[in-house]
Structures are given as structure tokens and as C-alpha cells.
Amino acid sequence: MLRDKGISLINAVNAIKQINTRFGYPSKRWVEARIWVEAKEVFVYDSKDTWDTTDVTRGHQKVAEFIFGKEFTLLKERADALLIPSQFMDYVEIDPSIQNGLPIILDTTILTSVIHKIKIQGYEFSEINEMYPFIQRSKLIGAEEYETYLDKVNLN
């Protein structure tokens, strides 16, 4: 969800750390979190103002409260739902206990960046699939598209 809003991976990870510090591991309590984005920065807040609907940013502007909606449902299934844009959820996962929390191909320990580097070297997906026959071709393509997406987001 954060990545869909153009938030860098570092800022998204920092936001998740803030939520984790304030609310513990992903749970129903995360619904209490208020998250908003301002100039590609993420702010996490855990109490309401006098109107019970808005919060104040660093620049003292009022912004509408942003509460988890459908994304919270995803958090019940996948703790990385805030870090991976929804279009890549079938191909990529982020698990802090695997590869130091770097993006990996779903249900593997293979870094998405490895597939991207192989593709940049000129290999076709059929050749990459021969190198990794245990990974579905669609996941290889999804991993490459994810890395290409990250390259575009990081340039902005």
C-alpha cells in the first residue's frame, strides 16, 4: 500500500517499524494506527485530535486521517502487505527472517534482484526458468516486473 503511493522502500520499512514499536506485531490493534503521506514521507500517529478525524503534520497543516481499510484485511494474511504493491503480491514477499528482509520470489528464498540482474545480462525467461526450474515462469516475470517498478520509483 505504501509502495503504491510512491513511498521508497526505506521510508515504508521505517513506517512499519514505527507501527510495530507502537502497536506490536501485526494484529487487530493496527487498526488504531493513523498513517498519512506528505511529500513522500510517511507519518504514523496513534491518538486522535479534538475532532477525532484529523491529525497535524510537521508543518502544522491538518490532513485527513488515513486508517487501514481493505489493506488491514491483507495484513491478517500477509505481514508484508504494506511493503509490496498489490499487483506484485502473487510474485513477491518480504520476510525479515529470509534474506535479511530483502524482497524475494514468493515461496522461495531467491532474491527478486537476482532475477533482475540475470535478465539485464540478456537472458530470456525460458533460460532463467531452466536455471530455476522449481519457480513458476509467472513468478519470474512478476519478480522482474517488481524490480523494474522499484527502479522507476527510486528514480522519482
pLDDT in tens, 34-82: 777 766 777 776 655 554 444 555 555 555 445 455 666 666 677 777 7
Question: What predicted TM-score, i.e. pTM, was given to this entire model?
Answer: 0.61
End-of-domain residue from the set 78, 104, 133? 78
**Are 64 and 133 contained in the same domain?**
no
**Are 96 and 50 contained in the same domain?**
no
Largest CA distance in the chain: 60
**Are 37 and 103 contained in the same domain?**
no
- List the domain range (segments joined by +) for residue 145: 84-156
Instruction: Write down the pLDDT at residue 35.
Output: 73
End-of-domain residue from the set 48, 78, 108? 78
Asked whether the predicted pLDDT for residue 97 surpasses 90, the reply is: no
End-of-domain residue from the set 58, 78, 98? 78
The string over 53-75, giving b where at least 16 C-beta atoms fall within 10 Å of a residue's C-beta and e elsewhere, is: ebbeeeeeeebebbebeebbebb
> Is 81 strand, coil or helix?
coil
**What stretch of H or E contains 148?**
helix 137-155
Which of these, 16, 25, 17, lies nearest to 76 by C-alpha position? 25
Average pLDDT, the chain: 79
Which of these, 51, 22, 43, 46, lies nearest to 33 by C-alpha position? 46
Instruction: Write down the pLDDT at residue 156.
Output: 53
**Are 92 and 155 contained in the same domain?**
yes
**Are 38 and 94 contained in the same domain?**
no
Number of domains into which the chain is organized: 2
